[in-house]
Chains A and B, each alone.
Chain A
Amino acid sequence: MTPEIKGFLLLSVVKLLTVFTVVMVGVALLTLMERKVSAWMQNRFGPNRVGYGGLLQPAADGLKNLVKEETLPAHANKGLFLLAPALSFIPALMLTAVIPFAAPLPVTFDLTLPLLGRFIHTGPMPMVVADLPVGFLFILAISSLGVYGIALAGWSSNSKYSLLGGLRASAQMVSYEVPLGMSIVPVLLLSGNVTFSAVIADQQTGLWYVLPLFFSFFIFLVAGFAETNRLPFDMPEAESELIAGYHTEYSGMKFSMFFIAEYANIVTVCAVTVTLFFGGWDIPFTAWDQTPGLAQTLLTGAFLFLKILFFIFVVMWVRWTLPRFRFDQLMSLGWKFMLPVALGYVMLTGAALWGIEDVAGVTNPKLRGAILFVLNLALGYLVFFVVDRGYIVTGAGSAGRRGAAGLGGTR
C-alpha cells in the first residue's frame, strides 16, 4: 500500500468512528427526545428523574434492556429470529455513511507510525465516510434491505401478530419505495448528478431544492414516514391492533435493536431530506462556507445538525398529531395518489426544465430555480386549494362511491 492510500484509510476510519458514535449516541438521545416531545405536546413533563432533566434516561433504559431476560417463543425459527434484529439494524447504520456532514476540511499530514509505516494525506478531505459515486442510489438500494429484517422478524416469531405486522411492513415498504424513488428523479433532473456532494454544490450555486422541487420534497417526506414505519403510517406496529407488530415476541436487547434501527432510519431519512432539499451542510445566504477551512467545517457541521434535528422534530411532531391510517387507505394513498403525482411531477419538471434550458435558454441556476419555484407555487395552489377539496383526493369511504374517478386515499 502506498502511503497515500494508508492516509486515506486512516482518515476514513476516524470519520467512520466519529459518525458511528454520533449516530449511536444521537439515537439514544432521540428516544428521550421522542418521549419529551410527546410529553410536551400533551402538557406533561416527560422523563425528568434520571440525571438532569432526564438526560440519563436512555442510559437507564439501555441498562434495563441489557439485563432483561431474552425470551424465545416456542417453535420460533431460532436462527432467523436472532438474525432479524441485526438485519434491520445494519442497513439503518450503513446509510449514514454516505451523508456529507460538513464542508470539506483541508487535511495535510505526513507521519510515520511504528509498525504501520508512513501515512500521507494532502488536500481537502470530503467530510463523508464514503463519497460514493452512486450517491442516493445507494440510499435507495440499502434502505430496501431494511424490510428483510422486519419481514423475517415477523415470520420467524411464530406468532400471528408478528406475522401480520411483518406482512404489513413488507407491503407498505415495498409500496412506498416506488413514490420515494420517483420523488427523487426531479432532483436528478435538476442536478444532473446522483452524488450527494454534487447535489449540495448545485444547491449552493442555485436555490435549495425545496423551492424549485417542493412536491418532490413533500412526496419524499411522506414516503419517508412510511418507509420508517412512523405514525401516521405505523401499521406494522399498530399497538391497538397488533400488540407491537413484528417485534411482539422480542425482548431485552433484541427489542432495543429494532428500536435503535427505527431511530437510525429516522435520522437517515431526515439527513437525506436535508441533503437533497435543504442544501445539506450549506449555510444559506453566504458563500463563505464554500472555501475549505476548519471553522467552515465546524460551523457547517453544526448547521447540518440543526437542520436534521428540526426534521426529526417534525417527524415526532407529526407522530403526536395525526392518528393512524387504515391499511387500505394507506395502500390507496400510496398507489393511487402518491405514485401518479410523483410520476406526473417527474414529467412536469422534465418538461419545464426542457422549456427553461433548451427553449428559453436560461442557464443561470438561480433564475432557473426561481422559475421552477413559481411553477411550484401555481401547482401548490392547484393541489392544496382546488384539487385537495374532495374533488380528486377523496376520503376512503367515498372512493368506492366515486369508483375509478377518484384518485383515492385520504391525505
Chain B
Amino acid sequence: MAIGVKVLKRPERDVSYVRATLKGMALTFKHMFRPKQTMQYPEQKSTEEWRLSPRWRGTHRMMTDEQGRSKCVACGLCPQICPANCIKLVPGEDENGHRYPLIYEIDEFRCVFCGYCQEVCPEEAIHVGVHYENAEYQRGRFVYDLERLQAQTHPVSTLWDPSDPRGE
C-alpha cells in the first residue's frame, strides 16, 4: 500500500461481490428495454420535453415592410451598442429623404449573440432568431449581408418571457 493512501472502512460482512455484480448486470439488462432517450435529430427537432426556448438568441434576421424593403432606417444604434463590433452599417438616403442602409452586414463569427441590437432597434428591424443550423462551406459565408438577413424566415427571439417581462 502506497504511503498516504486513506483506506475507507466499507461494510464487508453483508457484501457479496458476486451477487453485487449480478445485481448490476440485472440493472443494465433492464435498461436495454427502457424507452430510448435519444432525439433523432435531423428528423425530429423538438419533443414534448425539449424544445428551443422562445428567448433563444441565434443568427439574425432583418424584418421587412409590406413592400419588401427592410425596416431599417440606418439610425446607427445597433453598430453603436454592439459589444462585439460585428455590425457594419453604411447609411444612405433616397430622394424622399428616407434613410436606408446602403450596406448592412453582420459578421456572425464575431457576434456574441447578446441581443442588444434587437433590444436597441427603434424600428423593430433587426432581430436575433430562434435558429441554430448555420453550417457553411466557406468562412466568408458567415458575413450575412442585408439581402441574406432579409431572406431569413425563421422565428425571431422574444428576448424576454412575455408573461414575465422582468424575469421575476
Contacts and interface: CB of A to CB of B under 8 A. Distances in A.
Given A43-B37, A45-B38, A322-B24, A388 B16 contact: yes
Contacts of B34: 43
B10 A44 contact: no
Interface of B: 1, 7-8, 10-19, 21, 24-25, 27-29, 31-32, 34-38, 40
Interface residues of A, number: 27
SS class, residues of chain A in contact with chain B: loop
Contact of B15 (A37, A320, A389): A389
A43 B36 contact: yes
Nearest to A388: B16
B12 A389 contact: yes
Interface string A30-70: 00000001001111110000000000000000000000000
A50 to B, nearest CB: 14
5 contacts: A43-B36, A388-B19, A389-B14, A401-B7, A411-B18
A385 interface: yes
Given A398-B7, A401-B7, A389 B16 contact: yes
B154 to A, nearest CB: 25
A410 interface: yes
B10 A395 contact: yes
B21 A389 contact: no
A390 B12 contact: yes
Contacts of A321: 21, 24-25, 27-28
Given A43-B36, A43-B37, A394-B12, A410 B31 contact: no
Nearest to B20: A411
A318 interface: yes
Contacts of A317: 25, 28-29
Nearest to A380: B18
Contact of B21 (A42, A322, A398): A322
Interface in A374-403: 384-385, 388-391, 393-395, 397-398, 400-401
A391 B36 CA distance: 41
Contacts of A42: 31
A314 to B, nearest CB: 9
Nearest to B1: A400
